[in-house]
């Protein structure tokens, strides 16, 4: 490492001179990579919104813009495939700003030797997910890399959405006393992926929760629910999502463990695997922050939608503090949640 390169990189990320798998896992190491290297490199007010999509003013219109890379392994899993995941993930990032998704793009990095039939299946799956949301993949790019320089197929999708309401939905909208709702049961995506990858045969096949939440968010807005903040649960699970929002908003938060829906199949699989469902990845679940006064209205809308059937109030926002998150169990004992260091499950999305 020469001195001039040190000058360009004045903030090493912890003790690491090289990227390790944990830097992609959604935990503290990834947070360090983003906070100490990526964000400072690109510093600008839009990036500093710290939200799933950037909210931009374009010619007097409020647009949401987002991008995500997908490296999930295996490419096909119960409940979805990398194509459905890539489209739904981008739709969800737009929805988390309360944007109506309009247009999507896709960049494919294909490994030499990848079966053309598999590619056709993934493309069909992407298109089906885009069409179901009333959007389309309007532009794209295809690259091929040598055998051994990829892993079948990586996809990066971007999306543009239009914000047609006046709410400022994001971490800055969180208020003391807000109710924290969860749209459904957690942990299915992570368990589905690991079971498929490792060939584990549980009693019940767990299907990924991979789904597009934009329709459900649209219903909530149409019903007049004043949403303060939305966040979909991905890498790092429910715990990482709530911890990030607590840190970014500066409010302490408390979750009630008993109120968090986990199916018996996911709970059983997590026990066998030694995972905590709170930290397992999801791809079709979100937390919602709102005033206590609109919770009943929101639950009515959520319960009427297939993706919100099991929605529940799982906690509330406390006072402005250090952004700590407590988990209260059935006996009233509160333990403080922490971000995992690296990752439980690599390449989950």
76, 78, 127, 334: residue in contact with its own copies (rule CB under 8 A) = 127
| Residue whose C-alpha is closest to residue 275's, from 212, 181, 202 | 202
Q: Rounded to whole angstroms, how far apart are CA atoms 245 and 240?
A: 9
Binding-site size, its own copies (CB under 8 A): 87
Q: Work out whether 165 is an interface residue with its own copies (CB under 8 A).
A: no
Output the smallest distance, CB 63 to its own copies, in A.
7
Burial class (CB in 10 A: 0-12, 13-18, 19+), 122: buried
Cα 324 to chain centroid distance, Å, stands at: 20
In sequence order, the β-bridge partners of residue 108 are 142, 155
Expressed in angstroms, the distance from the first to the final Cα of the chain is 33
Interaction of residue 264 with its own copies, rule CB under 8 A: no
The smaller minimum CB distance to its own copies, of residues 20 and 272, is found at: 20
Compute the distance between CA of residue 140 and CA of residue 132 in angstroms, rounded to an integer. Answer: 19
Taking the least distance from each CB to its own copies, the nearer of 37 and 294 is: 37
- β-strand 136-145 against 100-111: which pairing, if any? parallel
Among positions 35, 58, 250, 329, the unique one binding its own copies when judged by CB under 8 A:
58
Q: Is 65 in the site for its own copies (CB under 8 A)?
A: yes
Single residue of 38, 200, 272, 320 touching its own copies by CB under 8 A: 38
Per-residue binder mask for its own copies (CB under 8 A), 224-243, x = binder: --------------------
Regarding 272 and contact with its own copies (CB under 8 A), the answer is no
Separation CA 164–CA 55 (nearest Å)? 12
Least CB distance to its own copies at residue 119 (A): 7
Which one-letter DSSP state was computed for residue 38? Answer: I
Among 35, 41, 222, 333, binds its own copies (CB under 8 A): 41
Instruction: Out of 47, 167, 259, 294, point to the residue binding its own copies (CB under 8 A).
Output: 47
Q: Provide the CA 170 distance to its chain's centre, in angstroms.
A: 14
Residue in 35, 74, 134, 136 binding its own copies, rule: CB under 8 A: 136
- Whether a cis peptide bond, with omega within 30° of 0, leads into 149 is no
Binding of its own copies by 183 (CB under 8 A): no
| Options 55-63, 218-226, 262-270, 319-327: segment touching its own copies (CB under 8 A) | 55-63
Per CB under 8 A, 126 contacts its own copies? yes
Given candidates 74, 134, 138, 204, which one binds its own copies under the rule CB under 8 A? 138
In angstroms, the CA 166 to CA 168 distance is 7
3-state secondary structure of 52: coil
């Amino acid at each position: 490492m020469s001195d001039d390169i040190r000058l360009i990189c004045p903030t090493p990320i912890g003790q690491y001179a090289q990227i390790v798998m944990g830097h992609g896992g959604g935990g503290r190491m990834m947070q360090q990579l983003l906070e100490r290297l990526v964000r400072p490199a690109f510093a600008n007010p839009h990036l500093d919104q710290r939200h799933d999509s950037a909210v931009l003013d374009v010619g007097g219109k409020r647009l949401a813009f987002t991008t995500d890379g997908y490296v999930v392994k295996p490419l096909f899993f119960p409940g979805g495939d990398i194509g459905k995941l890539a489209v739904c993930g981008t739709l969800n990032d737009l929805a988390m700003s309360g944007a109506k998704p309009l247009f999507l793009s896709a960049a494919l990095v294909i490994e030499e030797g990848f079966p053309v039939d598999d590619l056709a299946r993934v493309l069909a799956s992407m298109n089906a997910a885009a069409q179901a949301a009333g959007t389309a993949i309007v532009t794209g790019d295809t690259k091929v890399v040598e055998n051994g320089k990829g892993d079948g197929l990586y996809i990066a999708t971007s999306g543009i959405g239009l914000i047609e309401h006046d709410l400022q939905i994001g971490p800055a909208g969180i208020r003391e006393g807000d109710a924290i709702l969860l749209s459904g049961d957690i942990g299915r995506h992570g368990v589905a992926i690991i079971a498929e990858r490792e060939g584990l045969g549980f009693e019940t096949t767990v299907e990924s929760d991979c789904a597009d939440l934009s329709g459900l968010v649209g219903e909530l807005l149409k019903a007049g629910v004043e949403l303060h903040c939305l966040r979909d649960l991905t890498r790092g699970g429910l715990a990482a999502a709530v911890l990030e929002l607590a840190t970014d908003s500066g409010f302490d938060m408390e979750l009630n463990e008993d109120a968090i829906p986990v199916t018996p199949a996911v709970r059983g699989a997590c026990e066998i695997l030694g995972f905590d469902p709170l930290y397992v990845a999801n791809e079709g679940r979100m937390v919602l922050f709102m005033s206590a006064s609109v919770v009943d209205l929101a639950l009515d809308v959520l319960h009427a939608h297939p993706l919100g059937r099991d929605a529940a109030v799982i906690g509330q926002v406390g006072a402005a503090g250090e952004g700590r998150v407590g988990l209260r169990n059935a006996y009233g004992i509160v333990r403080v949640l922490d971000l995992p260091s690296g990752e439980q499950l690599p390449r989950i999305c």
